[in-house]
């Protein structure tokens, strides 16, 4: 036992080395066991061993002094609970082993005992330390409870009221702003409907004017033709010759009636229904909820050897060296770093978003199934033929390209995501930046069907978000 020599924390002095000191006083019989003492401690009784606990330890009160064993005036001890005895030595657990963190008896700490050379402490002292710790912990818990009570009653109550006020103000703000949006939408709707109605009336009036004009022309032609037929059937040769000048005049008058020509004035102008506000709100609503749209994935058979396709078929990574693993598929682009989606579109509304923030050279758009795949010519290069319509970026330059015509786009910043909306019902292809809600470009035409989403990347990586 490595007991402290300074005090009772490390246990009693148990002999000249570490064991308990045996008394040479009165012998109480062979069955009583060794008599242990702590310098001036009591003589231990034959049944209990060292009495150091509050119930069984030495009685050191000022009136009685230490009790010196049985028969010397000590009151009868209460019967010890068997659960409080050492299971090995059947002695009271009057010590606490700090090494094993358990109560032990005096025999356990003797030379040869299990806890010999362990750090020990009287059980009474260890219990007192535990009581002090419990008191300290209870005081801390009381302070903690007081703090929590104050927090609940003051801070949380204030926060609760603040939440109510903030939520109410936020609701009012949402209602106010959406009311303004609704008012703006209603106003824009009314304006556009009036323009459509006006354009319809204009077209109708033009058609009516044309109808009246051509009705008059038909009537005039019929009169001229009837007059000429009458001359032809009723005049003899001399009379016909005499009417030559009249015949020429009527023929010239008939030739003055021109043939009908196609005119845009007789058609409804769809541009009257175009509205930047409506287009922006429409694109935002579509790209804000793509749950009903088809999933756009890349067709691995079309991927250029300069591109690497991810396992989920959404990401294209550019590589300067051609991949040798690519098979010579008829659908594959063998020169330009292009790839087509596996899904084609024949009709309806379609939308997808592409993450382009890591690339400074890419193309995104749609292409016809007729787009050639082999060779380095312009017929295979996106935007340089009649079969592809693409939004492209090269460094800080942005363009819309189709059939070799490149329209420069002035963008204030480089988009991190690019939304594509294809409405085949009205023939619109729209490029949109979701982050700012900005329509980057709209192209309107009658597209050949079917159309495929098409991609090209010559720097870093692009990825389909949806």
pLDDT of residue 290: 75
pLDDT of residue 324: 72
Q: With a threshold of 0.85, does the pTM exceed it? A: no
pLDDT of residue 81: 60
pLDDT of residue 132: 95
- Give the integer Cα–Cα distance in Å for 386 and 82: 101
pLDDT of residue 163: 93
For the chain, give every domain's residue range: 1-23+33-60+81-118, 152-264, 274-464
pLDDT of residue 82: 58
At 33-71, the pLDDT tens digits run: 333 333 333 333 333 334 434 343 333 333 333 333 333
pLDDT of residue 41: 38
Considering only CA atoms, which of 68, 57, 133 is closest in space to residue 95? 57
pLDDT of residue 319: 93
Tokens read off for 202: 């204009």
What length is written for the chain? 466
The SS3 of residue 104 is strand
Q: Which residues of the chain have pLDDT under 70?
A: 1-83
pLDDT of residue 168: 95
- Give the integer Cα–Cα distance in Å for 240 and 231: 7
pLDDT of residue 293: 82
Considering only CA atoms, which of 52, 114, 111 is closest in space to residue 88? 114
Contact indicator for 335, 373 with CB cutoff of 8 Å: no
* Highest CATH level, class, for 274-464: mainly beta
- Give the integer Cα–Cα distance in Å for 121 and 98: 7
User: Inter-axis angle of helices 276-288 and 157-234, to 10 degrees?
Assistant: 120
pLDDT of residue 83: 62
At 403-443, the pLDDT tens digits run: 999 999 999 899 999 999 999 999 999 999 999 989 999 99
For 308, the enclosing helix (H) or strand (E) is strand 307-309
């Amino acid at each position: 036992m490595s007991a402290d020599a300074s005090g009772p924390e490390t246990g009693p002095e148990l002999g000249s080395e570490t064991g308990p000191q045996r008394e040479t006083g009165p012998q109480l019989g062979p069955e009583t066991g060794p008599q242990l003492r702590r310098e001036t401690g009591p003589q231990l009784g034959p049944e209990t061993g060292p009495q150091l606990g509050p119930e069984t330890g030495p009685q050191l009160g000022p009136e009685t002094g230490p009790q010196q064993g049985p028969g010397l005036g000590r009151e009868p001890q209460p019967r010890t609970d068997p659960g409080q005895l050492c299971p090995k030595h059947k002695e009271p657990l009057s010590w606490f082993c700090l090494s094993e963190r358990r109560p032990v008896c005096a025999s356990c700490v003797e030379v040869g005992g299990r806890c010999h050379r362990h750090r020990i402490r009287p059980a009474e002292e260890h219990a007192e330390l535990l009581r002090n710790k419990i008191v300290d912990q209870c005081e801390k818990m009381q302070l903690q409870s007081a703090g929590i009570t104050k927090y609940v009653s003051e801070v949380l109550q204030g926060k609760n009221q603040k939440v109510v006020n903030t939520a109410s103000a936020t609701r009012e703000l949402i209602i106010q702003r959406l009311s303004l949006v609704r008012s703006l939408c209603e106003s824009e709707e009314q304006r556009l409907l009036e323009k459509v109605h006006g354009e319809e009336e204009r077209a109708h009036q033009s058609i009516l004017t044309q109808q009246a004009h051509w009705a008059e022309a038909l009537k005039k032609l019929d009169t001229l033709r009837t007059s000429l037929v009458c001359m032809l059937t009723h005049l003899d040769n001399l009379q016909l010759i005499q009417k030559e000048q009249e015949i020429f005049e009527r023929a010239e008058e008939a030739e003055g009636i021109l043939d009908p020509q196609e005119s845009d004035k007789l058609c409804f102008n769809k541009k009257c229904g175009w509205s930047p506000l409506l287009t922006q709100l429409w694109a935002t609503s579509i790209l804000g909820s793509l749950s009903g749209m088809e999933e756009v994935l890349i067709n691995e058979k079309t991927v250029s050897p300069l591109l690497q396709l991810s396992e989920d078929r959404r990401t294209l990574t550019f590589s300067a060296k051609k991949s040798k693993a690519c098979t010579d598929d008829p659908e594959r682009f063998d020169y330009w770093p292009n790839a087509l989606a596996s899904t084609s579109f024949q009709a309806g509304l379609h939308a997808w978003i592409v993450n382009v923030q890591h690339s400074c050279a890419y193309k995104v758009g749609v292409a016809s199934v007729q787009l050639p795949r082999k060779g380095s010519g312009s017929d295979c290069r996106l935007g340089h033929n009649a079969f592809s319509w693409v939004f492209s970026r090269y460094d800080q330059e942005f363009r819309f390209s189709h059939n070799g015509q490149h329209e420069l786009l002035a963008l204030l910043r480089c988009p991190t995501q690019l939304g594509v909306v294809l409405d085949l019902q009205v023939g619109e292809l729209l490029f949109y930046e979701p982050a700012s809600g900005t329509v980057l470009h709209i192209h309107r035409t009658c597209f050949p069907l079917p159309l495929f989403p098409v991609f090209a990347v010559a720097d870093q990586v692009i990825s389909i978000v949806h």
